[in-house]
Structure 1
Amino acid sequence: MTKTGYTVLFQGDSITDGARGRSEDLNHILGHGYAYLAASRLGERLASRRPKFINRGISGNRVSDLYARWNEDAFALRPDLISILIGVNDLWRTMAGEPSGVTDRFERAYRHILEETKEVLPETRLVLCEPFLLKAGATVERWDEWTSRMAAYQATVRDLAEQYGALFVPLQDAFDRAAESAEPAYWIWDGVHPTAAGHQVIADRWLSVVQANVPELK
């Protein structure tokens, strides 16, 4: 029998945060981004199973910030599935000349999160989402550098997903394809933060990967 009350935790930075409410107000608790869209779809279709969705994304977070709050914002919640979308702020710091976001530190902190999660919550499914960019707003200047550096972060996330048996949600190709039908800023207004349409792109891809691989959410 399929488990009732399956709990999904969304983790990440401002893209996940989606200006979510910090109270228990159910109108705002999931924010207005892809986490809300994915939870809405699954919550409606799987209502008889009473799935639960939690958003703990925090605007501005790097992977090291995520690790610093992992006990409180992941382990203590004991979710059945943890979805992580992180990386653009690490890249942003690197582009600004700060060492805090360099890819080797990014990988180490991300690896710590995954290793400890495997130890503390061995039955919890992990979903790693690929960070992404489009050429708009802040990324237009030095675009080639943005994309070459981002490629390293994307490769790191893909490799970590493989190493730790996590589902990998590819997003760059989804946005590249979307940008063929409308200009990049239609999907990601400043090159980094998705619009409403952009969040739908993320939600659609996330759902396609997760529902194909997680029986509890089919």
Structure 2
Amino acid sequence: MLLRKNKKLIFIGDSVTDAGRNYSADMAGYDSWGNGYVNLINGALTATYPDYQTMVINKGVNGNDILKLATRWQQDVLDLKPDYVSILIGVNDAWRHFDTAVFQQRDDLVDVALYTRTYQKLINQTRSVTDKIIVVGPFMFEPNRTEPMRAMVDQFAVVARQLADKNELLYIDVQSKIDRFLTQNSSYILTQDRVHPNFQGNMLVATTWLNAIDFDWKRGE
């Protein structure tokens, strides 16, 4: 498995990562992981690799795009000196182009170039504390790849993959797993709004993440 014993693992991103976590909870303590994929990953690591004593920290924040993520990177990542950092960001960067922000005529929308520059900057900064960075591609529970928002999410995912390749980082492709599921079932099995996963959707994200780090599901048998 990619992780080593007695290490600190930070998950950072938007509401998909946040998943209702208690901001007042002790770090890596009860109620701090939210109700999403981070909580499921923490449970799997605790139950299957108890001797590793992995400290799992959830630093997802509702509504974040990559610019908002960057404003808190020092406090929520660098200052904590993590051993591993898993980043999932991009769906809000696309979503703001299609919700009420359009009618507000906002000038802070993120395009591909800005997303690329900012993401690379975060990677560079993180390498001052660790080079064990995991890039999770942004995803959407929408089977039609030509649907405008899905198409833009895919553009950001391409950038995330390219940056992972360029910087020799692990890239986790959740979208391909979603797309395979959607060839057989409706998106409503996994989500209510095409963006936020329900329990089943979070299970898909968590298992994809764990499989990507070579988690041994039969360990201890």
Q: What amino acid is aligned across from residue 10 of structure 1 in structure 2? A: F
- Contact 2:18/2:36, CA 8 A, preserved across alignment: yes
Q: What amino acid is aligned across from residue 200 of structure 1 in structure 2? A: M
Q: TM-score, normalised by structure 1?
A: 0.87
For structure 1, which runs of at least 5 residues remain unmatched after alignment?
213-218
Partner residue, 2:24: 23
Percent identical across equivalent pairs? 28
Q: 3-state DSSP class of the match of 1:94?
A: coil
Distance in 1 (alpha carbons) for counterparts of 2:111 and 2:19: 25
From 84, 99, 102, the equivalent of 1:81 is 84
Q: TM-score, normalised by structure 2?
A: 0.86
Distance in 2 (alpha carbons) for counterparts of 1:75 and 1:186: 37
Distance in 2 (alpha carbons) for counterparts of 1:191 and 1:33: 15
1:45 maps to 2:48: yes
Q: How many residues align?
A: 205
1:59-208 matches, within 5 Å, as 59-96=62-99, 97=102, 98-99=106-107, 100-118=109-127, 120-121=128-129, 123-135=130-142, 144-208=147-211
Q: CA deviation at 1:130?
A: 1.0
- Contact 2:66/2:89, CA 8 A, preserved across alignment: yes
CA 3–166 in structure 1, closer or farther in 2 if over 3 Å, else same: closer
Q: 3-state DSSP class of the match of 2:214?
A: helix
Runs of 4+ in 1 over 4 A off after TM superposition: none
For structure 2, which runs of at least 5 residues remain unmatched after alignment?
216-221
Larger helix proportion of the pair: 1
Q: Deviations over 1:44-89 (max 9, x none)?
A: 2221221110000000000111111011000111111000110011
Q: Deviations over 1:126-159 (max 9, x none)?
A: 00111111239xxx9x962122212211100000
Distance in 2 (alpha carbons) for counterparts of 1:73 and 1:206: 21
Aligned Cα RMSD in Å?
2.0
